[in-house]
Amino acid sequence: MSEWIWAAIGLVLIITELVVPTFFIIFLGIGALIVAVTTFTGLSEGLNTQLLIFALSSILLMLLLRSRLKKRISAKEMEPEYMGKLATVTETILPGREGKVSYSGSVWPAVADSEIPKDSTVTIIGREGICLKVKPA
């Protein structure tokens, strides 16, 4: 495969990581860029060699750097903009069951440790997937 294809794959993966931060995709992107460089320099001409370099470099980078990167980025830096904001309950939230809240013009599934009736104001304290964790305001 051409070094330009590997470079394009690498850039797309790195940009994807910036949009959807997983601390996983970036290592695949860097691995693809490493293959682009080795292909450009003539060190990996066959597809099998390129795939081997891609897999090994991606796995090694992930094993060596992933935990270090996660530690460097504190929870405060990754705190979403909605943390601590107020929302309105649109469907009663019961302990252990999802309800709904309205925040910033959208309705979101929400959970809480206590019952919160419809039309109450809540504070967003976290998130589990697409479900917001809330508490009474």
Q: How confident is the model at residue 83 (pLDDT cuts 50, 70, 90)?
A: confident
In the structure encoding, which two tokens stand for residue 115, read together?
């019952």
User: Could you tell me the pTM of the whole model?
Assistant: 0.55
Domain range annotation of the chain = 3-72, 86-136
Residue of 84, 85, 119 lying closest to 101 (CA atoms): 119
Q: How confident is the model at residue 66 (pLDDT cuts 50, 70, 90)?
A: confident
pLDDT, residue 29, reads 97
Residues 6+ apart with CB under 8 A from 79: none
pLDDT for 82 beyond 90: no
Q: Which fold has domain 86-136?
A: OB fold (Dihydrolipoamide Acetyltransferase, E2P) (2.40.50)
**Percent of the chain's residues with pLDDT above 90:** 71
Tell me how far apart the alpha carbons of residues 71 and 89 are, in angstroms, rounded to a whole number. 35
> Mean pLDDT over all residues of the chain?
89
